[in-house]
Structure 1
Amino acid sequence: MAAVVVFDCFDTLVTSRRPLPGPEEFTACLTEVLALDERCAGEVVRTVFGAVYAAMADRSALQPATLGLLDAALRERGAPREGPDLDRALWQALGCADADMYALCEPVADAMRRVADAGHTVRLMSNCYLPGHLMRRLLDGLKVPQVYERALFTADGGPKKPDPRAFRLIGAGDFARRVMVGDSEADDIAPAAALGWDTVRVDPADPDPAELLSLLEP
C-alpha cells in the first residue's frame, strides 16, 4: 500500500552542530549586512523574535512569515531594504553561511531514497525561521535527496507543529497510510499519532532507519 512519509528536517534529516544564533548575534548580523545602526537593528530583532517566539509559545497560533516580519519592521523604522538583502541577512544571521553549522544525516537521507524507490510519496515538514526558498537552498547545499514531492516550511507563515492543521496540510492526498518521521515526541510523534498516523522516532545521537523501512515492508 502506497504511503505518504513525512520527514522532519532539523535534528532528523539535518543535524545542527551548534545552537541557533541568539538575538545579540542576529543584531550584529543585521547591523553589518543591512548597514543599520545598532539601535535600529536591535529594535528590528526584538520585533521579529518577539512575534515568532509568541507564536511558537502558543501551540494553536499561526506562525507569521519571517520575511514579512523583517520587511515590516524595517519599513516602520524608515530603513526598507530590497528582497535579496533580506535574504542575505537571514541566511547569515541563522548560521547558513557557516559551512560547519549544519550537516546531512546520511542514514535518514538514505531512508528517504529507499522510501521513494519503494513507490511511496516523500514530503518534508519543518518548524523553521528560514523562508521556504532559503530552506530549499540550504537542503540543496547539504545534498538532501531530491525525492521529496512537497514541503511545509512554517517560516512562510501558517500552522506549525504540533498543530493538527500542519499535519493535515502536509499529509493531504489519497494515501493508504501516513507516516511521520521525526526526533521530537511533543512536536512530531504525539500529534501525528493522535491523527492516526504511523510514527517513527529518530534519535539524533544514533539515527537508525531500520524501524521505518520495516514498517513500510509489503
Structure 2
Amino acid sequence: MSTLVVFDCFETLLTSRPLPRPEDLTVGLSDALRLEPSVAAAVTRLVYGTLFGVMTDPGALQPATMDLLDEALREQGTSREPEELQSALWRALRCDDPGHYLVCEPGATAARRTAEAGHTVRLLSNCYLPGNLMRDLLRNCGVPEVFDKAMFSADGGPKKPDPRAFQSIAEGSFERRVMVGDSLEIDLSPAAALGWETIQITPGVTDLSELCKALEV
C-alpha cells in the first residue's frame, strides 16, 4: 500500500525555546546588519507585525520572510545582500545557540524508520526561517534527511491549517495519507477534514509507538 506520512516540524522533530521578543529581535538585527537602533526597531515592527498578523489568520498567505525583510530595509532607505539577511535571521532567531533548538529523538527516529520501511516521508512546517536555513537547522540538530519533499511557510504561500498547504505537500498517488503533529487545531483537524489519518504527539514526552505500530515500522 502506497503511504504518505507528513511530519510537522516544531515540537515533533525539533523542540525549541520561545521565540525572541521583538526587542530582542531589534537588538539582534541591529548588531547583525549594522543598523541604527531606530532603523532596526522600525524593521522589526514591520516584519514581526506582519508575520504575527498572518500567523493569527488561518487563511492568510504568508509572505516570504526574505522578501519581507528586504522590503522593510528598503522602506528605511537601506538594503543588504541576501547572504547578510540570511545570516541576520539565523542569529536573530537564535539558531547559533546550541541549546535553543534540539532534536526530538522519538520523532526523528520515527521519521527515519518510516522512510526505511519504504513509505514516502514529507515535512510541512509553519516557520519564520526560509527553507534553506530550516534545512540547515534540521541537519545541524541531527534530524535525518529522509524527506523527499518539504514545505516551509517562510518561503511564501499557504500555511497550516490552510487546506491548500496540506493538498500541496500531499501531491502524488497515495492510498493512505498520515499527518503527524502536536497541534489539534493546526496539524490534525485540517488533515482529518481531508480524509487523512492522524497521529497526535505530546510535546516534551513524545512517544510515536502508535505511528510505528500503525505503519508497521
Whether the TM-score (by the shorter chain) exceeds 0.5 is yes
In the alignment, is residue 113 of structure 1 matched against residue 112 of structure 2? yes
Which residue number corresponds to residue 73 of structure 1? 72
Which residue number corresponds to residue 50 of structure 2? 51
In structure 1, C-alpha distance between the alignment counterparts of 2:125 and 2:50, rounded to whole Å: 18
Please report how far the alpha carbon of residue 117 of structure 1 lies from its aligned counterpart in structure 2 after TM superposition.
1.0
Which residue number corresponds to residue 15 of structure 2? 15
Matched residue type, 2:210 = E
Structure 2 counterparts to residues 37-48 of structure 1, below 5 A: 37-48=36-47
Q: String of CA shifts for 1:175-207, please: whole Å, max 9, x gaps.
A: 111000000010001110111000000111211
For structure 1, list consecutive stretches of 5 or more residues without a partner in the other structure.
none
Q: String of CA shifts for 1:141-168, please: whole Å, max 9, x gaps.
A: 0111111100010000000000000000
Runs of 4+ in 1 over 4 A off after TM superposition: none
In structure 1, C-alpha distance between the alignment counterparts of 2:193 and 2:45, rounded to whole Å: 35
In structure 2, C-alpha distance between the alignment counterparts of 1:137 and 1:205, rounded to whole Å: 23
In structure 2, C-alpha distance between the alignment counterparts of 1:127 and 1:165, rounded to whole Å: 13
TM-score (structure 2 length as normaliser): 0.98
Matched residue type, 1:104 = V
Matched residue type, 1:115 = T
In the alignment, is residue 36 of structure 1 matched against residue 31 of structure 2? no
- The 3-state SS of whatever aligns with 1:124 is strand
In structure 1, C-alpha distance between the alignment counterparts of 2:215 and 2:97, rounded to whole Å: 36
Which residue number corresponds to residue 208 of structure 1? 207
C-alpha contact (below 8 Å) 2:11/2:204 kept by paired residues: no
Quick one: percent identity of the two aligned structures?
Answer: 57
In structure 2, C-alpha distance between the alignment counterparts of 1:205 and 1:75, rounded to whole Å: 41
Matched residue type, 2:96 = A
Q: String of CA shifts for 1:117-152, please: whole Å, max 9, x gaps.
A: 111000001100000010001011011111110001
Please report how far the alpha carbon of residue 79 of structure 1 lies from its aligned counterpart in structure 2 after TM superposition.
1.2
For structure 2, list consecutive stretches of 5 or more residues without a partner in the other structure.
none
Which residue number corresponds to residue 63 of structure 2? 64
- The 3-state SS of whatever aligns with 2:148 is strand
In the alignment of these two chains, the number of paired residues is: 217
In structure 2, C-alpha distance between the alignment counterparts of 1:54 and 1:114, rounded to whole Å: 37
Matched residue type, 2:14 = V
In structure 2, C-alpha distance between the alignment counterparts of 1:208 and 1:116, rounded to whole Å: 18
Structure 2 counterparts to residues 91-170 of structure 1, below 5 A: 91-170=90-169
Which residue number corresponds to residue 3 of structure 1? 3
In structure 2, C-alpha distance between the alignment counterparts of 1:189 and 1:100, rounded to whole Å: 28
Q: String of CA shifts for 1:46-93, please: whole Å, max 9, x gaps.
A: 001111111111111100110000001101211100111101110011
In structure 1, C-alpha distance between the alignment counterparts of 2:55 and 2:107, rounded to whole Å: 26
